[in-house]
Amino acid sequence: MNASTLLLIISATTALIVSVNLAVDPQNGLPKSEVMQLKGAVGPESIAFDRNGEGPYTGVGDGRILKWQGSYWDDFAVTSSQRKNCTRPFAPETEHVCGRPLGLQFDKKTGDLYIADAYLGLQVVGPKGGLATPLVQKFQGKPLIFTNDIDIDDHDDVIYFTDTSTKYQRRQYFTSLLSGDSTGRLMKYTKSTKEVTVLLGGLAFANGVALSKDHSFVLVVETSNSRILRYWLKGPYKGKHDTFAELPGFPDNISINSKGEFWVALQSFAQLLSISDSDLLGVHAAAMKLSEDGRVLEVLEDVEGKTLRSISEVHEKNGKLWIGSVVMPFLGVYRL
């Protein structure tokens, strides 16, 4: 991608974000969020609660998965056994050794935690935590390069997950976005047979995954194309896909609430470039609620970036939005 294309993208994104800003009630933004500090850790990108409602659990930059115990964070699990030198909160150069857990999802039947580790593939750990076991690290003889997010279909014992790129690792995410790389994939792992298949290939930065409430489709976020695709699992369109929503910014993760609506975390270009000057795009963090058929129901954002500078995930639970980020040293909590 050359500089003028980049500028075009920035201005197009700004225009869209400005138009979304107009629809936002300034009294109803995200600055009211409280924060849950992490001690000695950064980048709580993912959020999961176990089948007893305990948590949240989150994966952080040094490779650990932490569990919130009500008043403090406890070490819960790791995806690598070689963690002797994994003490720095943020060290992208050692992520392939220490692990970088991204997507987390509990299996409601077994209580096991499934983990998408950006470098170490799909893994699983029992309800008591500890060292996780790798399940999928290769596909057709080639290593997975950037495993990102997962969702579980516990009726069918199937796991959907994304490999963001077959070329660029997580620490090269920005080059991947700029290069227009579209080697991402939506994949499926069948627990009983251990079989792995590709449902959709050629995706531009394949990111968050979320199953619909009735399990008739699975959504996959294509970050660099600013859109969400819907892959049909049942019904007349089974095996086909279409565009579920086009978004004003760069969508990251997606999650479902108890009503079957979806929360999408949006990043602006300034955040992707790690520009802290709020004037460039005039927006920092945004969370968008979409209906089961892709209509925008609600937009919450921290326009001035007062509390939250970047959002990678929004998870609705117990009347609150739990907000994760790849860069912040805390989780955000917003009362709905």
Using CB under 6 A, which of the segments 99-107, 139-147, 171-179, 297-305 binds ligand NAG?
Answer: 99-107
> CB within 8 A of 331, min separation 6: which ones?
35, 36, 38, 44, 47, 56, 58, 322, 323, 324, 325
CA distances from 114 to 159, 284, 303 (A): 9, 30, 34
Q: Is 56 in the site for ligand NAG (CB under 6 A)?
A: no
Q: Is 105 in the site for ligand NAG (CB under 6 A)?
A: yes
Q: Is 101 in the site for ligand NAG (CB under 6 A)?
A: no
Binding residues for ligand NAG restricted to 286-325, rule: CB under 6 A? 312-313, 315, 324
Indicate the residue among 149 and 181 with the shorter CB distance to ligand NAG: 149
Q: Is 95 in the site for ligand NAG (CB under 6 A)?
A: no
Tell me the residue nearest to ligand NAG as measured from the CB. Answer: 46
We find the least distance from the C-beta atom of residue 22 to ligand NAG, in angstroms, to be 28
We find the least distance from the C-beta atom of residue 29 to ligand NAG, in angstroms, to be 21
Question: Given candidates 14, 17, 41, 45, which one binds ligand NAG under the rule CB under 6 A?
Answer: 45
| Residue 10 burial (10 A CB sphere; 0-12, 13-18, 19+) | middle
Encoded tokens for 163 = 């490999």
Letters for 248-267 (x = contact with ligand NAG by CB under 6 A, - = none) are: -----x-x------------
We find the least distance from the C-beta atom of residue 128 to ligand NAG, in angstroms, to be 19
Using CB under 6 A, which of the segments 4-12, 43-51, 83-91, 92-100 binds ligand NAG?
Answer: 43-51
Indicate the residue among 116 and 303 with the shorter CB distance to ligand NAG: 116
**Alpha carbons 228 and 206: distance in angstroms, whole number:** 10
Residue 33: which of 296, 288, 286 has the closest Cα?
286
Question: Given candidates 20, 48, 86, 247, which one binds ligand NAG under the rule CB under 6 A?
Answer: 48
Using CB under 6 A, which of the segments 26-34, 46-54, 164-172, 213-221 binds ligand NAG?
Answer: 46-54
Letters for 144-183 (x = contact with ligand NAG by CB under 6 A, - = none) are: ----xx----------------------------------
Question: Given candidates 30, 47, 132, 152, which one binds ligand NAG under the rule CB under 6 A?
Answer: 47
DSSP letter, residue 112: P
Give CA angle at 116 (115, 118), nearest 5°. Answer: 135
Residue 219: which of 227, 211, 173 has the closest Cα?
211
Residue 313 one-letter amino acid: E
Strand partners, 34: 333
Count of residues that interact with ligand NAG, criterion CB under 6 A = 17
Q: Is residue 99 within 8 Å of residue 80, measured between CB atoms?
A: yes
Strand partners, 220: 209, 229
Encoded tokens for 236 = 């007349």
We find the least distance from the C-beta atom of residue 162 to ligand NAG, in angstroms, to be 9
CA distances from 88 to 41, 91, 211, 328 (A): 8, 6, 35, 15
We find the least distance from the C-beta atom of residue 31 to ligand NAG, in angstroms, to be 22
**Alpha carbons 274 and 152: distance in angstroms, whole number:** 32
Q: Is 61 in the site for ligand NAG (CB under 6 A)?
A: no
Using CB under 6 A, which of the segments 64-72, 96-104, 218-226, 303-311 binds ligand NAG?
Answer: 96-104
| Residue 35 burial (10 A CB sphere; 0-12, 13-18, 19+) | middle
Encoded tokens for 90 = 């943020």
Give CA angle at 289 (20, 199), nearest 5°. Answer: 110
Binding residues for ligand NAG restricted to 178-237, rule: CB under 6 A? 208
Q: Which stretches of the chain bind ligand NAG, using CB under 6 A? A: 45-48, 102-105, 148-149, 208, 253, 255, 312-313, 315, 324
